[in-house]
Structure 1
Amino acid sequence: MLFFKGLSVWKGFTGTSEPIEASWPEIRGPIDAALRLHYHNHPDRLHDHVLLFQGKRLWAYGEGRLRPGYPRLIEEEFPGVPADLDAAVECHPKECPSETVLFFKGPMVFAFDLRTKALKQRAWPAVSGCSAAVRWIERYYCFQSIHFLRFDPVRGDVAAHYPLDARDYFMSCPGRGHGKDTRKNATLWGIAHACSGRPFQAFSSDDSGRIYAFRGGQYFRVDSVRDGLHAWPLNHTWPALEGEVDAAFSWADKLYLIQGSEVTIYRSGHGYSRVEGYPRSLSEELGVSQADAAFTCPHSGELYIIQGSYLRQIDLQQSPRHPGAAWLLPHPHVDSAMCTTKGVYLFIGAEFYQYTDVAQLSTATVAPPAQNTAAVFFRCSLPGAPQQPPAQGQHLPQDNTQ
């Protein structure tokens, strides 16, 4: 993450500043706004470019080099967007109806659709006076002086308990911070930190590559290297969801979260929204009374439920749904499970076991070698052991934001 102030830029959460012109020599003076653009529909244009705004002009940098034809007027690239901006941030298509850039100026927000070039002007009273804006792990933040708030990029709603002080969250300041005493509380440390070695109660992977791990009423975003060690309350992403998640799986752009004998379904469109009528009983929805673990494989309508040492298959496209025959697993118990394009992962205690596919899992009589979950999935350094690389096929893209 890049922090701009005056003629300086800080790269990352710690360390000293450097002059802006050291990285972007064509820029003179402070900038008004900055963002990194992920233009997936037109990767030949400004995909993965850093855009810096100053007065009436903008600069576009790719791999640290100024793109030919820049700087240019803001109105040439984004027709209708005013000059002298306060802030800007890109909204990804999974969180907005389409690839959109939000521009902030005073009390107004300008939403620019990258595909249609349509511009919508909005008044979001709760999100006004932003001096900077950023997307960080599917969340959107507006900075107001040294404070910040988290907002919905479609409606402009601000989450509860904001604003907060940026010095406790986004930068390392002596004597400040929101998690510095976590290690003193063994219970809190075990729940809220991925490296504690405590087992996870559920894992989930969807077709877009997002991976979540659940433990003790909180969750970790596994596929984000930069934020993989940080736990978040469930309701930060899934409105009104509380308690502990026992199992989770994705299907048809929906996330199924199993808690005891009930299941709640969330649509994974622009953020997550709960499907009306849920939670419902697990037996009514899936034809089973409980699940120790559950998983679906990418682009498949087959659900696999683990109960004790048995694996059962359920066709999600069937109505009513009911489990098929049971296969005996070479594990007496499984805490959680997940399936990606690289195989099936069973998590037991602090370790996991990787199988090539469901066919190998269902016929296995001997378990494969155990691997450490914290070391492989979260890159935790273990006492007396070298740090291990990510598991084969583990997709851990960096979340690049300004």
Structure 2
Amino acid sequence: MRTVTATVTMRVPITLCSLLSLLCLSDTYPLLKGRHNDTGTNLFHSPDPAHNVTGLADRCTDEGFGAMALDDKGVMYYFRDDFVWLGFHGPAKWINETWQGIPGSIDAAFRNHNQEHPLEHQRIYLFKGSKVWSYLEGKLVAGFPRLISEEFPGIPDDLDAAVECHKGECRTDSVIFFKDGKVYVYSSKEDPAVKQKTWANLGSCTAAVRWMEKYYCFNGINFTRFDPVTGERLSPRPMDTRDYFVQCPGRGHAHSARQNATHMALVNRCSNRPFEALSSDDKSRTYAFRGGFYFCLDTRKDGWHAWPLGHTWRTLEGVVDAAFSYRNHMYFMQGSQVTIYSADQIYIPVAGYPKPIQDEWEVPGITAVNAAFTCPHSSDLYLIRGNRMFLVDLNTRKQSGAAKTIIHSEVDSAMCNAHGLYLFHGPSYYHYKDAEELLAATEAPAAGNIASYFLDC
């Protein structure tokens, strides 16, 4: 066992990076969990000022981490040498005391994603030398460790990093392995199962992680965001892990951000501040938009987070009045303008936009809307302005019939998915079976609370 010297570690929650910085950098927000009694933290909980002398390693040195991965409960693990940090609190622990059977340091780690094979789905895999260990709910899976060459044929030993890639973000559920500047994309559904690539612009990765549908390559203490299909660097410059993924004394901007009450209300999903828009895309991902930020409502195992719009939709900023999806495109209406993004592995702005709503659809008198929605497998677009609802045929891009009156005098947003139609106003939502039921209604159904139903508050 190697000798270590005592260091001082600050026991604090994960950092909230600067709002102003992120509007330009479009990178990660704090690693926060949804409930206040879980392993995460409340966004507005002040850092614990107490120092903890553990005699173990300090996560805030300039060494960075050798591997990072989320487990099946959404808890982030940070690995370096013989140590591991669990989640966002507490000191370092010895890896061989935390993970049964691991003899010290590891080379790489990832959380598997394969919903077609439930016995493998959500397992965490740890790699060391020529072997791989697999764990579920913290317990070593029977039959492990195994040789990497047996579990992942064609993947080399002594890896530098690994990260899972979900279907829809990659072609199929895959694992991206890094070694010596080379990239190996592994998918048991592909033939051949391993495709070797060179991503020269990305550089080498000493660790990699997928978090909130984004992919990060770490090189020592610095990291960049990248496209998992092309390897393109999506960060304008390398950033320091201690300013974004862990909080360290004297670093980050969490304190000043917490002091800004307006900002707190925007990024706190449970503040009951109204959302300007809610919408789901063609991949059944649901988004809630507020004040230039959005929450993704389908990544609870990664936590609840507020993101600047540009993090997912490049160049999009400001308040979104309405949003909807149609044929693998997502539409955003802001004032009198509409902007469209095509959805492949990532959202790409459609050339020629933004343009006036009147130029996109022939709806006389409509220059701005309060809400808009489409329902699954339908080309009917409904636009709501005040208590008037307009129907547009997206195939012809023209209005169908006369505008109809609805019983709601004011609506902030609307969303239609497999569960029905939802209208939103203030902190409340109203559920209808479909648009026909809304038009036929003579009184509103019982109101539900948006924060508790959609955001797990």
What amino acid is the match of 1:72? R
Correspondence for 2:385: 307
CA contact (8 A) 2:224 2:235 kept: no
Partners of 2:139 and 2:440 in 1: CA distance: 54
Equivalent residue in structure 2 for 1:361, among 438, 442, 450? 438
Distance in 1 separating the partners of 2:437 and 2:278: 20
Match in the other structure for 1:2: 77
Residues 370-381 of structure 1 mapped to structure 2, 5 A cutoff: 370-380=447-457
How far apart, CA to CA, are the structure 2 residues paired with 1:363 and 1:73?
64
Instruction: Provide the rounded CA distance (Å) in 1 between the counterparts of 2:309 and 2:168.
Output: 19
Distance 1:344 1:122, change over 3 A: same
Corresponding position of 1:208: 283
Letter of the aligned partner of 1:171 in structure 2? V
Specify the alignment match of 1:54 in structure 2.
Answer: 128
Question: What does residue range 32-51 of structure 1 map to in structure 2 within 5 Å?
Answer: 32-40=107-115, 42-43=116-117, 46-51=120-125
Partner of 1:321: 398
Structure 1, unmatched stretches of 5+, are 381-402
- Structure 1 residues 330 and 279: CA distance shift in structure 2, 3 A: same
Distance 1:228 1:60, change over 3 A: closer
Distance in 2 separating the partners of 1:162 and 1:353: 44
Task: Kindly state the Cα deviation for residue 53 of structure 1 after the two structures are TM-superposed.
Answer: 0.8
SS in 2 for 1:181: helix
Q: Aligned equivalents of 1:320 and 1:297: distance in 2?
A: 16
Residue 228 of structure 1, CA deviation? 6.1
Q: Secondary structure at the match of 2:127?
A: strand
CA distance in 2, matches of 1:359, 1:22: 60
1:36-115 paired onto structure 2 within 5 Å? 36-40=111-115, 42-43=116-117, 46-115=120-189
Verify: 1:218 aligned to 2:296, yes or no: no
2:407 to 330, 336, 342: 330
Per the alignment, residue 291 of structure 1 pairs with 369
Distance in 2 (CA, whole Å) between partners of 1:133 and 1:125 is 16
How far did 1:143 drift? 1.7
Residues 1:26 and 2:101 are matched in the alignment = yes
3-state SS in 2 of match to 1:80 = coil
* Count of aligned positions: 378
C-alpha deviation, 1:73, in angstroms? 1.9
Inter-partner Cα distance in structure 2 for 1:226 and 1:48: 10
Tell whether the 8 Å contact from 1:13 to 1:170 is kept in structure 2 after alignment.
no
Other-structure match for 1:230: 305
- CA deviations over 1:234-272 (Å, ceiling 9, x no partner): 221112223322110012222111122222222222111
Q: Choose the corresponding residue for 1:349, options 426, 431, 439.
A: 426
Seq. identity, %? 50
Q: 1:343, 1:356 within 8 Å by CA — same for their partners in 2?
A: yes
Residue 71 of structure 2 corresponds to none
Quick check: 1:221–1:227 contact (8 Å CA) kept in 2? no
Cα distance in 2 for residues equivalent to 1:182 and 1:330? 40
How far apart, in 2, do the equivalents of 1:128 and 1:83 lie? 19
- Secondary structure of residue in 2 paired with 1:195: coil
CA shift digits 1:178-198 (9 cap, x unpaired): 433223223333333323333
> Partners of 1:355 and 1:17 in 2: how far apart?
51
TM-score (norm 1): 0.85
Taking the aligned partners of 2:280 and 2:240, their CA distance within structure 1 comes to 33
Q: Identify if the C-alpha distance between structure 1 residues 44 and 216 changes in structure 2 by more than 3 Å, giving closer, same or farther.
A: closer
In the alignment, the residues of structure 2 paired with residue 5 and residue 151 of structure 1 have an alpha-carbon distance, to the nearest angstrom, of 22
Q: Which has the higher contact order (CA 8 A, sep 6+)?
A: 2
Report the CA distance shift for 1:339/1:17 in structure 2 as closer, same or farther (over 3 A): farther
Give the conservation status (yes or no) of the 8 Å contact 1:150–1:162: no
2:125 is paired with a residue whose SS is strand
Q: Secondary structure at the match of 2:398?
A: coil
- Give the 3 Å change call, closer, same or farther, for CA 21–58 of structure 1 in structure 2: same
Structure 2 residue identity aligned to 1:300: S
Q: Following TM superposition, by how much is the alpha carbon of 1:129 offset from its aligned partner in structure 2, in angstroms?
A: 3.2
Amino acid paired to 1:329:
I
The structure-2 alpha-carbon separation of the partners of 1:109 and 1:342, relative to structure 1 and needing over 3 Å to count, comes to: same
Distance 1:161 1:299, change over 3 A: same
Tell me the amino acid that sits aligned with residue 322 of structure 1: Q
Change in CA separation of 1:370 and 1:26 when aligned onto 2, cut-off 3 Å: same
Letter in 1 for 2:421: V
Contact 1:222-1:228 at 8 Å conserved across structures: no
Structure 2 residues without counterparts, runs of 5 or longer: 1-75
* 355 and 176 in structure 1: CA distance in 2 versus 1, 3 angstrom threshold: farther
String of CA shifts for 1:354-402, please: whole Å, max 9, x gaps.
Answer: 233323222222222333323433234xxxxxxxxxxxxxxxxxxxxxx
1:150 counterpart = 2:228: no
Q: Please list, as runs of the form range in 1=range in 2, the aligned pairs for 1:110-189 lying within 5 A after superposition.
A: 110-116=184-190, 117-189=192-264
In structure 2, give the amino acid aligned to 1:193. N
What secondary structure sits across from 1:366 in the alignment?
Answer: coil
Shift of 1:121: 2.6
- Cα pair 1:210 1:223 within 8 Å, conserved: yes
Please give the root-mean-square deviation of Cα atoms over the aligned residues, in Å.
2.4
Q: Is the 8 A contact 1:217 1:242 kept in 2?
A: yes
1:207 offset after TM fit, Å?
4.1
